């Protein structure tokens, strides 16, 4: 986390101003009630199952709360209290009050999210985390629990506690690496940690026999379609033996984020489903030898995105069916057999991106985009 360096960048100043935008001032949230809970599809031992996602009301991501911190595409912060610390016991009360509403006979997977890092002591106290895990462990119907954290909060001590409390329940820690490229992660995402930070955390997780779930962004800000495909393929190659699961996360549009701003200005286009087909096409020869389970995600967020990966009304049903089929069976057939007239628009977009005079250096490209935007009305 280098706030001093970030304070020298136009992009991070933009992120900071968007975070502080008045319509999203801190609200007087009820701290004993969850932000939301939902039922969705999950995957366990090669089977499609139902899972419950608990979105606990949090104080906000520790990285996003720093001046000039926060990721370019993430709008989770706007659903938090944006405050200092949550009172001890409040997260536990939130969880219990929502937990008792469900019969877990049909829900072997539980996801517990807080719009940040559950393992951060600034975001959730030790007592609440331990008591929540005890409740999960005591429920014989729950077989698997998923939480999320940044790497700096994944420590020997916290993993030891998790391992001691979860004797019969398997655990998975999700981390948004986004890309193995330091430049992409820094400039396109503003992630605030290095690949080395990630690998150290992943090795610790493996030591305690907890599963590692790694999120990789598809089509981040400022990358062309072809660059994003190459970046994803390279990320998958370098993650071999480092993670148990990789989830490809096509960028969505969440309000008052940097991605949302550039989308509103016509500079950024959200990824279409065809980019997923291209990625699968690129890796199909080696897909069984990746060394980890590959999933396609990008649909489960709170607050809910305004837009997420799609094609057109004629073939969206086929796209989502193909994604589900891939996640369940790992069969690539449905994805690779997708066809529709709208694919021509996607291919034209790829062609146009390559024909444009795009600066080869990513920092130079970003500077050019910002300069063009600032001068656009003056130069008319």
Of 102, 7, 6, nearest to 54 (Cα)? Answer: 102
Predicted pLDDT at 304:
67
Position 5 confidence tier, pLDDT thresholds 50, 70, 90: low
Report the distance separating Cα 278 and Cα 174, nearest Å: 25
Report the distance separating Cα 292 and Cα 294, nearest Å: 6
Report the distance separating Cα 319 and Cα 311, nearest Å: 8
**Residue 247 pairs with which residues in a beta bridge?**
215, 295
Which of these ranges, 35-49, 54-68, 150-164, has the smallest mean pLDDT?
35-49
Residue 106 pLDDT > 60: yes
Q: Cis link prior to 259 (omega < 30° from 0)?
A: no
The residue ranges of every structural domain in the chain are 3-375
Predicted pLDDT at 163:
95
The secondary structure of the chain in percent helix, strand, coil, rounded to multiples of 5, reads 45, 15, 40
Position 2 confidence tier, pLDDT thresholds 50, 70, 90: low
| CB-CB neighbours of 364 under 10 Å | 11
- In a 13 Å sphere around the CA of 332, the CA atoms on its Cβ side amount to 15
Residue carrying structure tokens 């001093």: 4
Mean per-residue pLDDT for 29-44?
88
Q: Judge: domain 3-375, CATH 1.10.357.10.
A: no
**Residue 38 in tokens:** 């939902």
Residue 29 pLDDT > 80: no
Position 46 confidence tier, pLDDT thresholds 50, 70, 90: confident
**Residue 327 pairs with which residues in a beta bridge?**
none
| CB-CB neighbours of 299 under 10 Å | 16
Mean per-residue pLDDT for 4-17?
84
Predicted pLDDT at 24:
59
First to last CA, the chain: 40
Report the distance separating Cα 308 and Cα 298, nearest Å: 7
% of the chain at pLDDT higher than 70: 94
What is the longest distance spanned by two Cα atoms in the chain? 67
Mean per-residue pLDDT for 297-324?
83
Residue 83 pLDDT > 90: no
Mean per-residue pLDDT for 223-236?
97
Looking at every residue in the chain, the average pLDDT score rounds to 91
Report the distance separating Cα 41 and Cα 233, nearest Å: 26
| Range among 44-48, 172-176, 297-301 rated most confident | 172-176
Q: Contact, 134 vs 161, CB < 8 A?
A: no
């Amino acid at each position: 986390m280098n706030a001093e360096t970030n304070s020298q960048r136009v992009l991070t100043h933009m992120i900071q101003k968007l975070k502080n935008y008045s319509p999203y001032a801190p609200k007087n949230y009820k701290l004993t009630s969850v932000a939301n809970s939902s039922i969705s599809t999950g995957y366990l031992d090669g089977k499609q199952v139902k899972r419950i996602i608990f979105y606990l009301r949090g104080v906000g991501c520790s990285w996003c709360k720093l001046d000039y911190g926060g990721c370019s595409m993430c709008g989770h912060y706007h659903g938090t209290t944006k405050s200092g610390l949550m009172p001890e016991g409040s997260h536990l009360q939130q969880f219990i009050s929502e937990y008792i509403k469900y019969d877990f006979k049909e829900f072997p997977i539980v996801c517990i999210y807080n719009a940040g890092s559950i393992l951060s002591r600034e975001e959730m106290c030790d007592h609440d985390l331990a008591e929540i895990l005890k409740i999960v462990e005591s429920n014989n119907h729950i077989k698997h629990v998923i939480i999320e954290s940044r790497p700096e909060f994944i420590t020997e001590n916290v993993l030891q506690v998790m391992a001691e409390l979860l004797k019969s329940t398997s655990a998975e820690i999700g981390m948004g690496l986004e890309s193995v490229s330091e430049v992409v992660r820094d400039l396109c995402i503003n992630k605030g940690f290095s690949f080395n930070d990630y690998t150290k955390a992943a090795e610790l997780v493996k030591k305690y026999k907890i599963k590692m779930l790694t999120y990789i962004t598809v089509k981040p800000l400022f990358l062309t379609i072809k660059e994003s495909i190459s970046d994803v393929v390279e990320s998958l190659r370098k993650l071999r033996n480092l993670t148990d699961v990789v989830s490809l996360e096509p960028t969505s549009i969440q309000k008052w984020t940097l991605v949302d701003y550039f989308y509103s200005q016509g500079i950024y286009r959200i990824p279409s489903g065809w980019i997923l087909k291209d990625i699968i096409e690129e890796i199909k020869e080696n897909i069984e030898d990746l060394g980890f389970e590959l999933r396609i995600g990008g649909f489960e967020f709170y607050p809910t995105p305004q837009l997420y990966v799609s094609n057109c009304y004629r073939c969206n049903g086929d796209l989502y069916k193909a994604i589900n089929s891939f996640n369940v069976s790992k069969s690539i057939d449905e994805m690779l057999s997708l066809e529709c007239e709208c694919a021509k628009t996607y291919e034209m977009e790829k062609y146009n991106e390559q024909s444009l005079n795009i600066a080869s250096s990513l920092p130079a490209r970003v500077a050019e985009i910002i300069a063009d935007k600032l001068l656009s009305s003056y130069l008319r």
